[in-house]
Amino acid sequence: MSPTSSSSSSGVDRRRFLQLAGLGAAAVGGGTLLSACGGLKGSSASDADVLKIGLVTPKTGALASFATSDAFVVEQVREAMRGGLKAGGKKRTIEIVVKDTQSSPTRATEVTKQLITRDKVDLVVASGTPDTTNPVADQCEAAGVPNVTTIAPWEAWFHGRGGKSGEGFQYTTMFFFGMQQFADCFFPMWDRIGASSQEVAALWPDDTDANAFRNGLGPLMKDAGYNPVDGGKYQDGTTDFSAQINTFKRSGAELFTTTPIPPDFQTFWKQAQQQDFRPRLATVAKVMLFPAEADALGRLSNNIATDCWWSSSHPYESSIDGTSAKDLAAAFSQSTGKQWTQALGSVYSLFEIAIEAFKQADDPKDKDDVAAKLRSMSYRGMSGPLDFTKGPEPGIAIQHPVGVQWRPGKEFDWEVVVVDNTPNPDVPVGGDLEPTNA
């Protein structure tokens, strides 16, 4: 699954990607405004001819790994939409305003308000855990601004915001997956690894994300014959996990799962190795999703398993210009010198969805019209088929992640290998499932 270059099966011109690579260094800072027609804020186009999309992202702080590819995606969309689009019966241009949450929910609220009241955006997109998606969506719902978010368990996004089952929200939508899909991804690997017990050590902090796992995945584990051993709620930023490690060791658990913030997992995993807690298989969520985290752990990353919802091996293409997942990953690496990340496909899809909603609306400047198009959308793009009408709740589209493990790579130090495609057979398996600790 290394991001190697190749020609797209859809016939996308590689020269465009080479040109794009030269644009990758362009900055997209806290208030940068980019126009699809190449201009900056203050261009001669009338307000009615310009459709503004606000992107809220944790560019800095503890969640910064979720935003590694955002600048590249913004440039990719800017280039693809340089000629504008036809929406509402007339030619429009796309402008993108980027805001950094600094990994703070409070800051996410503030910058979303700025997008709505000062920048007058027509639609807001956001990505990167409930700390980003939930406050952004809350502000958009309150202000009546169309919004789509991703990379947060749907239960944490929906129930964490007080959603009413069967009704959903009027202006806010999201795509990702939830506890059933985590179970569909993790359980087949647990079944196959040959653990001597059904005990599963679970490191779940006291936050919106982890509580969704505690209350959602925990019961699914029991139904499947597994016994979650909850290490107990703890606060983000904890530096001593001895109590949790001792609990896990006493239980005899050979399976392990967790949903912490990345820095906390690195602290825990190092201490677990030092204190001789070495589970046969670690299947983690929210962490070890991106190369920077594997690089930070070095050899301790070997054969840690996680969920993978997008990769260079996924058989998907852009709804904007037909770019394949493989070519998007290759272009990112060529432009930045960095390894592709799962968020690359997700953030790209946020813009696909926004553009699709503008195109479908009778009046793309009518926020109610655009919001209705988001709730009723069903399309296929960089993240595969997404249907916001199927649920599990109105306005939520579900993805199906596959199981991957981190292993020493050929082009980069650490690369993910698909080891179980039970939830999504369209994604090819690249290697055998191996114990995290033999």
Give the DSSP letter string of 284-353. ESSSS-SHHHHHHHGGGGTT-EEEES--TTS--B-TTT--BHHHHHHHHHHHHSS---HHHHHHHHHHHH
Model confidence band, residue 120 (pLDDT cutoffs 50, 70, 90):
very high
Which is nearest to 336 in space by CA: 44, 35, 67, 60? 67
Q: Is the pLDDT of residue 34 over 60?
A: no
Locus of tokens 């030619």: 91
For the segment 259-309, what is each residue's pLDDT rounded down to a tens digit?
999 999 999 999 999 999 999 999 999 999 999 999 999 999 999 999 999
Q: Is the pLDDT of residue 1 over 60?
A: no
For the segment 131-165, what is each residue's pLDDT rounded down to a tens digit?
999 999 999 999 999 999 999 999 999 999 999 99
The Cα 136–Cα 375 span in angstroms is: 17
**What pLDDT, on the 0 to 100 scale, is given for residue 48?**
75
Locus of tokens 């309150």: 142
Model confidence band, residue 438 (pLDDT cutoffs 50, 70, 90):
confident
Model confidence band, residue 100 (pLDDT cutoffs 50, 70, 90):
very high
Across residues 59-72, what is the average pLDDT? 94
Using the Cα atoms of residue 273, residue 433, residue 177 and residue 79 in order, give the sign of their dihedral.
positive
Distance of CA 96 to the CA centre of its chain: 19
Following DSSP, what letter does each residue of 108-142 receive, concatenated? Answer: HHHHHHHHHHTS--SEEEEESSHHHHHHHHHHHHH
The Cα 246–Cα 201 span in angstroms is: 11
Model confidence band, residue 28 (pLDDT cutoffs 50, 70, 90):
very low
Q: Is the pLDDT of residue 37 over 90?
A: no
**What pLDDT, on the 0 to 100 scale, is given for residue 122?**
98
More confident residue, 280 or 42: 280
Fold agreement between 14-177+311-398 and 180-308+401-420: yes
Model confidence band, residue 209 (pLDDT cutoffs 50, 70, 90):
confident
The Cα 148–Cα 289 span in angstroms is: 21
Mean pLDDT rounded to a whole number for the chain: 90
Place domain 14-177+311-398 in its CATH homologous superfamily.
Response regulator (3.40.50.2300)
What is the domain partition of the chain in residue ranges? 14-177+311-398, 180-308+401-420
Top-level CATH class of 180-308+401-420? alpha beta
**What pLDDT, on the 0 to 100 scale, is given for residue 208?**
87
- Distance from first CA to last CA of the chain, Å, rounded? 24
